[in-house]
């Protein structure tokens, strides 16, 4: 299989006010799997639409999605997951209502997050879309529901589902402390123990949903763990460790400014590829209580890379080298350089390379770091042309971390 990269461009042509030089694509097609650049109010000619209007930006983003999928031989019905990033919870109803116009009859799984910012200050919304062109059999969709009936949310009528199973992947709705009927929520307060209760509910839900789809935690490759406050980190990860035991997924941990509802303190996304009798390869396994020296006892077991067939999942990389504790304090560019060196090493250990990179997601703690971080990243991916999403978040595992980078790769024949 050879990766196909559609609508290649360089970021200097998109952000002329920033000193960026990154080779990117709008879509990367890996077999039947579609990776797409995060879509915003920029049209496909890079003109901003609706600078003060979240709904108009969302409408443009969805027009882009429709066009890009069709160019890649796909369509809206093939979308499996929609991750919605908004910069204010007040935008949620207009954004979700606009997405619903395009996907009203296409149940997908979803995750909704409130971020500190996007690539440009005027951007209100960004949509991450994951699509899979069906093979001989249609996607199987489990536990369909209407968003309007979820905790009595009014104003958003959209068909959703909890799980989608494609030929070899499972897409799972972002799990929170809500029960599977959308009627009750664990952890009624905003204390660390409430975050732990929500994490426990989320993991119980995930186990149930995976079993219904014919999968288990053994198939889990990657976690993205979102918490509303760093004070929740220790109790949440202890819960994750109890549920996952010796699974050893890789992970990215982020502090988010908010979620779909104010009572949500924790949300988890899982990337799941079915093992089908051949265990996934998990590289550089570690125990958090031995690896981390920040005084917290997380009680979890992770790894730094997972290979599942031709798919490569990596732990979110920061400025910490793979084999030491040296760290570029206060220097976002240096941290990004180190993160990319780590990524290159991990890909090679898993039998891949940077040339196989399909998607890069860059999280930074402040827009002021954007130029330095993207300049560093661009040097490693010259001529590669992955798709990308860039987000400003509220924090990371440690206050000294200024940037974290996720890369998804598919090994080419």
From CA 198, how far away is CA 232, in angstroms rounded? 11
Which helix (H) or strand (E) segment is 169 a member of? Answer: strand 169-172
* 3-class state of residue 261 by DSSP: coil
Note whether 31 and 1 are within 8 A (CB).
Answer: yes
């509802």: which residue's tokens? 261
């690896």: which residue's tokens? 291
Residues in the chain: 413
Q: Please name the residues in contact with 160: beta carbons below 8 A apart, sequence gap of 6 or more.
A: 107, 108, 109, 110, 144, 145, 146, 147, 150, 173
Beta bridge partners of 160: 108, 145
From CA 56, how far away is CA 244, in angstroms rounded? 41
Note whether 109 and 79 are within 8 A (CB).
Answer: no
Helices 233-244 and 192-212, packing angle to 10 deg: 30
368 phi, psi to nearest 5 deg: -60, -20
**Which of these, 368, 374, 366, 360, lies nearest to 392 by C-alpha position?**
366
Which helix (H) or strand (E) segment is 170 a member of? Answer: strand 169-172
Instruction: Provide the percentage of residues in the chain whose pLDDT is more than 70.
Output: 100
pLDDT on residue 51: 87
The domain locations on the chain are 174-315
For residue 126, what are the CA distances in angstroms to 38, 117, 261, 353, 386? Answer: 6, 10, 18, 28, 17
pLDDT on residue 146: 87
**Which of these, 172, 313, 173, lies nearest to 250 by C-alpha position?**
313
* 3-class state of residue 209 by DSSP: helix
- Residue 302 CA, chain-centre distance (Å), reads 18
Helices 54-71 and 92-103, packing angle to 10 deg: 30
pLDDT on residue 147: 83
pLDDT on residue 324: 79
From CA 4, how far away is CA 33, in angstroms rounded? 11
pLDDT on residue 162: 97
Per-residue model confidence as pLDDT tens digits over 330-367? 999 999 999 999 999 999 999 999 999 999 999 999 99
pLDDT on residue 20: 84
From CA 98, how far away is CA 107, in angstroms rounded? 15
Count the neighbouring beta carbons within 10 Å of the beta carbon of residue 328: 18
């180190």: which residue's tokens? 338
Q: CATH classification of 174-315 is 3.30.1330.40, yes or no?
A: yes
Note whether 321 and 338 are within 8 A (CB).
Answer: yes
Q: What is the mean pLDDT of each run of 10 residues along the chain (413 residues)?
A: 94 80 96 98 94 96 98 98 97 94 95 96 97 94 89 78 96 97 92 98 98 97 98 97 98 96 96 94 95 86 97 97 86 97 98 98 97 96 98 96 98 92
**Which of these, 315, 318, 404, lies nearest to 361 by C-alpha position?**
404
Per-residue model confidence as pLDDT tens digits over 286-321? 999 988 877 789 999 999 999 999 999 999 999 999
């Amino acid at each position: 299989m050879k990766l196909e990269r559609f609508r290649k461009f360089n970021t200097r042509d998109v952000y002329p006010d920033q000193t960026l030089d990154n080779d990117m694509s709008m879509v990367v097609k890996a077999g039947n799997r579609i990776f797409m650049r995060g879509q915003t109010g920029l049209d496909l000619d890079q003109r901003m639409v609706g600078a003060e209007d979240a709904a108009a930006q969302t409408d443009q983003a969805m027009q882009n999605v429709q066009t890009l999928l069709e160019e890649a031989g796909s369509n809206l019905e093939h979308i499996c997951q929609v991750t919605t990033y908004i910069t204010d919870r007040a935008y949620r109803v207009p954004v979700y209502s606009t997405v619903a116009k395009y996907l009203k009859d296409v149940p997908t799984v979803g995750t909704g997050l409130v971020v500190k910012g996007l690539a440009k200050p005027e951007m209100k919304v960004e949509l991450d879309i994951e699509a899979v062109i069906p093979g001989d059999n249609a996607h199987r969709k489990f536990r369909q529901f209407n968003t309007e009936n979820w905790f009595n949310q009014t104003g958003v009528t959209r068909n959703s589902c909890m799980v989608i199973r494609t030929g070899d992947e499972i897409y799972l709705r972002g799990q929170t402390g809500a029960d599977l009927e959308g009627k009750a929520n664990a952890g009624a307060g905003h204390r660390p123990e409430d975050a732990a209760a929500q994490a426990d509910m989320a993991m119980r839900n995930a186990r149930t949903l995976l079993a219904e789809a014919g999968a288990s935690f053994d198939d889990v490759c990657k976690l993205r763990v979102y918490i509303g406050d760093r004070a929740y980190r220790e109790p949440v990860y202890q819960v994750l460790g109890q549920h996952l035991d010796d699974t050893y997924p890789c992970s990215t941990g982020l502090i988010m400014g908010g979620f779909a509802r104010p009572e949500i303190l924790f949300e988890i996304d899982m990337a799941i590829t079915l093992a089908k009798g051949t265990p996934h390869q998990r590289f550089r396994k570690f125990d958090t209580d031995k690896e981390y020296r920040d005084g917290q006892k997380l009680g979890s077991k992770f790894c730094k890379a997972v290979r599942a067939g031709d798919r490569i999942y990596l732990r979110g990389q920061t400025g910490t080298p793979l084999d030491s504790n040296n760290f570029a304090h206060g220097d976002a560019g240096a941290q990004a350089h180190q993160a990319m060196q780590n990524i290159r090493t991990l890909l090679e250990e898993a039998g891949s390379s940077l040339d196989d990179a399909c998607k890069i997601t860059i999280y930074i703690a402040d827009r002021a770091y954007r130029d330095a971080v993207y300049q560093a990243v661009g040097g490693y991916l010259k001529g590669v042309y992955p798709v990308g999403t860039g987000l400003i978040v509220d924090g990371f595992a440690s206050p000294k971390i200024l940037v974290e980078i996720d890369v998804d790769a598919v090994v080419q024949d």
